[in-house]
Every structure is written in structure tokens, then in C-alpha cells.
Chain A
Amino acid sequence: MKRILAKLEIPILAFVPLTLFICASLQITQAAVLSLLVALAAIAVFFANFELSKPVLRQIIPAVVLGALAAAGRILFAAIPDFKPVSAICIVAGVVFGRRTGFIVGAIAALVSNFFFGHGPWTPWQMYSWGMVGYFGGVLADRGLFDKHPAAVYVYGFFSALLYGVLLTTWHVVGFIQPLTWQSAILAYGASLPFDIIHAVATVTFLLIIYAPWSRKLLRIKDKYALSGSKQDARL
């Protein structure tokens, strides 16, 4: 069970955008519900996987605190639309604590902040999209990209925010515009582009401010409380 779930991690994460694509190309009428269920399944598999890895109490704390901090940041900056630090914090978490923590920080940030902003069918999508922002941050850091090219993290920050925007707009387009045509899809993407750019600029700004100092601070805490070299890290 554990092994199957661990192997499912990448396929199920990839399956979510694939479902959107299939729904769009086949013009499925129940796309909203179908894609929602797939997104929920992806999050469920991810969390179940995390649950089954039986993490030590200490190891879940960084994800919880950073997720709550990202949620609080989103609430703090609520006055400026789309200018939010969530993606930046997810990326820092992914880089320092690995891709799984990156995903969970994003998912928790979306889930918890929506208790203040209001839950809806978008909640699983925001959880998934921010989770992916943190997840890819962790994957790229694992490959040593950010060690080789320190500026790459800001470039990634910019594009990750666009990725978040594209995922949410695609969900909106596929799920809620009927009948779906090329013109209407392009119109919807065009309408969301300015907001996505603001989000991207915000992410880069926050990364410029927090990336270096927070990484240093988090790495120190990681050493101090012996959070690395754990069972969970070894399995990754």
C-alpha cells in the first residue's frame, strides 16, 4: 500500500492538468465536477502518502508553521489583489525542506487561508496549484539548480506564479465556460494575465526579500533541531 502510494505520487500530480486537457478537448459537460474530483484525489493521495510515511511529530512542524505563515501573509496582503507572499514561502519551504514539504505548505496555506476568505470549489485547486509551486521548487533545488545559478530561484518564482495562474484559469475555463471555444478561452486567459503578472512580480519581490535570510534561518533551525537526515529524508 505504502509503496503503491509512493509510486502514485508523480502520476497523480500529473494527471490533474491532464484531466483538464481531456475535458477541454472532449468538451465534457461535467468538467467542473470531474476535474474537482481528480484534484481532490491528487491531494488525498499526497496527504495519504505523507500520513503513511509516519513522520515524527517534529518533522511536520516546519510545514505547519510555514503554511500558517503563508496563510497569514495572504490575509495580511488581502487588500492588494493578487499581491501575496504565498508562492514565495512555498518555494522557500520546498528548497529548504524538500518537495513534499513544499507541496504541503502550499496546500495548508490555501486550505487555512480559505477559512478566512471563504471556501468553495476553488479550494482544492488552490491547494493543488500552490502545492505544485512548492513541489517544483523542491525538485529544482534537489537537482542543484539553485546552487549553481542563484538567480534561477527568482526566475522560477516568476514562472511559478504564472503556472499557478494558468492552472486556475484553465480550471475556470474548462469547468465554467460552456460551450468552450478558442476565442472564449483566449479571452479568459487574457483577462487573467494582468493579475497573474502582479502575482509573479509579488512572488519575485518577496523572494528577493525573504529567500536568502529565511533560507539561512531555516537551515540553522534544521541543524539545531536535527530535522535533516531523518527517515523521511532518506526515503526521498
Chain B
Amino acid sequence: MSNMLRWQGKNTGFELIHPGLQLTYFAVVLVLTMTAMQPVLLTISFISALLFSFCVRGWQTTLKTLVILLPLVIICAVINPLFAMMGSSEVVRFGQHAIYLESIIFGLCMGMMLASVILWFSCASKILSTDKVLAVLGGVLPVVGLMISMAMRLVPQFTERGKLIGSVAESVTSARPLTKRDHITSRLRIVSVLMGWSLEESLQSADAMKARGWGATNKRTGYKRYRFAAFDLFASLALALLVITCSVLAFVACSQFHFYPTMSTLTLWWGYIPYALLMLLPLVVRIVEDLRFKWLGQA
């Protein structure tokens, strides 16, 4: 029950749409972020990812991620000018090596791109829980979906069982590791036992699954049912329209912009607005949902 409540606390309006659409949205946003190497578009994507992360993952977790991401951006900004000696406005010169402003900016943009991609990914993994991914994959790739979910479940199980095998060895006088050498061999034995145990047990559970009718029907059912409602159709059409507009606009923006040899000047342009709308979409949905909820509470 408490799990249920916690899950509801994290529910954003974005989760009202079909999981397939959610998956598509994140895929589109990631591809656009990776392709649109243009400072303004990258900044829009970065800020949107950051705001969405504050909203979905909480500000504490997001700040922790930022502590890791900021050095990454700085490293990119430092490394690129060392690798790519190109540009026109010289900043420093070490003998033959010149550091140019343009390549520092390119490095910064590259770092920001990586940072936004990581942020988007972490938001996506929060929203797209394993059961949703399985529900989407289950229809198309039932075997692969099952494999991934089984492997995901096995990793924490290995940790528990490793401890269990270790404590069993500890309690048996003849198997108890005494010297440092013993400790190493005992670790290796634990892993080996773990492999045999888990593999045989998983094979048995595969047989059990089959005996209980796994794969008896062609179409698999999921734990939760997701129906593609009329609203989802409307949402996918709207999303498709927005994505096409944004792709064209991003293409125009990127082809008009260049880093080398001199960076193009950036101006205010109406074309950034649809792009920002796409990137901020889940956040906007969330805010609208919150406001509606408040309004309903007052009424």
C-alpha cells in the first residue's frame, strides 16, 4: 500500500498518455538533443531536462547529478581545444599550440549536450518503469523483453545470494577462510557457486513457467493494461506535428550556424519557441495537471 502511495506521489500528468508514446517522446527528445549542435537549442534542451528532472526526480537527486555533470562539461570544454586546434580568436598560445575561443565554446556545447542527454535519460528511466517498457516490448519483442526483465531481477538477487553463500562458508569450520589467500579463493568460490546455483534454478523456473502456460497464447498480457485511447491518438498526432516542425526548425538553425572559423552571431528568432515547447512539454503538462488538481480541490 505504501508503495502504491509513493508511486502516486511521483505521478505526473505526462504518465496519463500511453507508454508507447512516452517512449517515443523521450526517443525524439534524445535524438534532437544529440543532433542539434547549436548553442541556443542545446541550452533549451539542457534547461528543460534540468527542470523536468527537478520535477520528476526531486531537487536533491538532481543536484547530486549536477555535481557529477558540471565537471564533465568543464572537462569537455578543456579537452576539445587541446584536441582540435581550430578557430580564429586566439586565447592563449603555448609555443606551436594555440587555444582558440571557438573550440572552447564547441567543447562547452559538447559537454552541455552530454549533460542534457544524461539528464533526459535519468528522467526517462524514472518515468518509464520496467513494467511499462515490458508492456510496450511485450507485444513486439516478447523474448527479448522477458530476457531483460529477468536479467534486471537477477542482479540484486546475486548480491543477496553472494552474501548467503559467504555466510554459509563462514559458519562451516572447514570452509571458513582464515588467511588472506583463503579469502581470495573463497570469493572466487562464491562467484562460481552463484553461477551454478542461479543457472540451474533459473532453468527450473523456466520449466515451471512453461508448465504454467507461458507462451501458450500468441499475444502476451501485461501486469497492467495500457489501452491506446482516443486521447492518445490525438496526442500522437499533436506530437508528430510538433516533432516535424521542430526537426525542420532545428535543421534550419543548425545549417545557418557554424562554430569554425568564426562563430556565427546568435539572434532572437521565433523558431526557438516550438522547440522550447516540445522540450518543456512534460513539464507544462505537469503544471497544468497540478493547477487543475488545485482548482478541483477548491471547487
In angstroms, Cα B35 to Cα A66, docked, is 35
In angstroms, Cα B114 to Cα A217, docked, is 43
The answer to whether B114 touches A120, judged by C-beta atoms less than 8 angstroms apart, is yes
The answer to whether A118 touches B196, judged by C-beta atoms less than 8 angstroms apart, is no
0 or 1 for each of A213-236: is its CB under 8 Å from B? (1 = yes): 110011001001100000000000
The answer to whether B198 touches A104, judged by C-beta atoms less than 8 angstroms apart, is no
Indicate which residue in A55, A176, A184, A209 contacts B143 across the interface (CB closer than 8 Å). A55
0 or 1 for each of B89-131: is its CB under 8 Å from A? (1 = yes): 0000000000000000010001000100110011001000000
0 or 1 for each of A154-168: is its CB under 8 Å from B? (1 = yes): 000000000000000
- The segment from A4-12, A16-24, A45-53, A130-138 found at the interface with B is A45-53
Which residues of B from 47 to 81 have beta carbons under 8 Å from A?
A: 80
Question: Which residues of B sit under 8 angstroms from A32, Cβ to Cβ?
Answer: 34
- The segment from B14-22, B208-216, B233-241, B280-288 found at the interface with A is B208-216
Across the two chains, which residue of chain B brings its CB closest to A119? B121
Q: Does A60 contact B (CB under 8 A)?
A: yes
Measured as residues with beta carbon below 8 angstroms from the partner, the interface class of chain B is: 35 or more
- The segment from A67-75, A145-153, A196-204 found at the interface with B is A67-75
Which residues of B from 233 to 264 have beta carbons under 8 Å from A?
A: 259-260
The answer to whether B117 touches A179, judged by C-beta atoms less than 8 angstroms apart, is no
Which residues of A from 11 to 66 have beta carbons under 8 Å from B?
A: 29-30, 32-33, 36, 47-48, 50-51, 54-55, 57-58, 60-66
Indicate which residue in B141, B152, B198 contacts A47 across the interface (CB closer than 8 Å). B141
Question: Which residues of A sit under 8 angstroms from B203, Cβ to Cβ?
Answer: 58, 61, 221, 225
Question: Which residues of A sit under 8 angstroms from B121, Cβ to Cβ?
Answer: 118-120
In angstroms, Cα B151 to Cα A116, docked, is 13
Q: Does B31 contact A (CB under 8 A)?
A: yes
In angstroms, Cα B87 to Cα A7, docked, is 47
Question: Which residues of A sit under 8 angstroms from B158, Cβ to Cβ?
Answer: 68-69, 72
0 or 1 for each of B197-228: is its CB under 8 Å from A? (1 = yes): 01110110011011000110000000000000
User: Do A184 and B83 contact each other (CB < 8 Å), given the known contacts A65-B195, A221-B199?
Assistant: yes
Q: Is the interface of B mostly helix, strand, loop or mixed?
A: helix
Q: Does B147 contact A (CB under 8 A)?
A: yes
The answer to whether A36 touches B144, judged by C-beta atoms less than 8 angstroms apart, is no
Q: Is the interface of A mostly helix, strand, loop or mixed?
A: helix
Q: Does A187 contact B (CB under 8 A)?
A: yes
Which residues of A from 174 to 191 have beta carbons under 8 Å from B?
A: 176-179, 181, 184, 187-188
The answer to whether B141 touches A108, judged by C-beta atoms less than 8 angstroms apart, is no
User: Do A112 and B151 contact each other (CB < 8 Å), given the known contacts A57-B209, A177-B83?
Assistant: yes
In angstroms, Cα B125 to Cα A154, docked, is 37
The answer to whether B147 touches A63, judged by C-beta atoms less than 8 angstroms apart, is yes
The answer to whether B195 touches A69, judged by C-beta atoms less than 8 angstroms apart, is yes
User: Do A71 and B147 contact each other (CB < 8 Å), given the known contacts A61-B199, A118-B122, A217-B196?
Assistant: no
Q: Does B159 contact A (CB under 8 A)?
A: yes
CB distance from A168 to the nearest CB of B (A): 15
Q: Does A111 contact B (CB under 8 A)?
A: yes
Question: Which residues of B sit under 8 angstroms from A62, Cβ to Cβ?
Answer: 199
Question: Which residues of B sit under 8 angstroms from A108, Cβ to Cβ?
Answer: 147-148, 151
Q: A57-B206, A60-B146, A108-B148 are in contact. List 17 more A-B contacts (CB 8 A).
A: A32-B34, A33-B34, A51-B143, A57-B209, A57-B215, A58-B207, A65-B195, A65-B198, A69-B198, A71-B151, A112-B152, A116-B155, A119-B121, A177-B84, A210-B192, A221-B199, A225-B203
Chain A residues within CB distance 8 Å of chain B: 29-30, 32-33, 36, 47-48, 50-51, 54-55, 57-58, 60-69, 71-73, 75, 104, 108, 111-113, 115-116, 118-121, 176-179, 181, 184, 187-188, 209-210, 213-214, 217-218, 221, 224-225
Q: Which 4 interchain pairs have the tightest Cβ spacing?
A: A68-B154, A184-B83, A68-B151, A72-B158
Residue contacts A-B, CB under 8 angstroms, 14 given: A29-B37, A50-B143, A54-B143, A58-B210, A63-B147, A69-B154, A73-B191, A108-B151, A120-B114, A120-B121, A179-B260, A184-B83, A210-B192, A217-B195
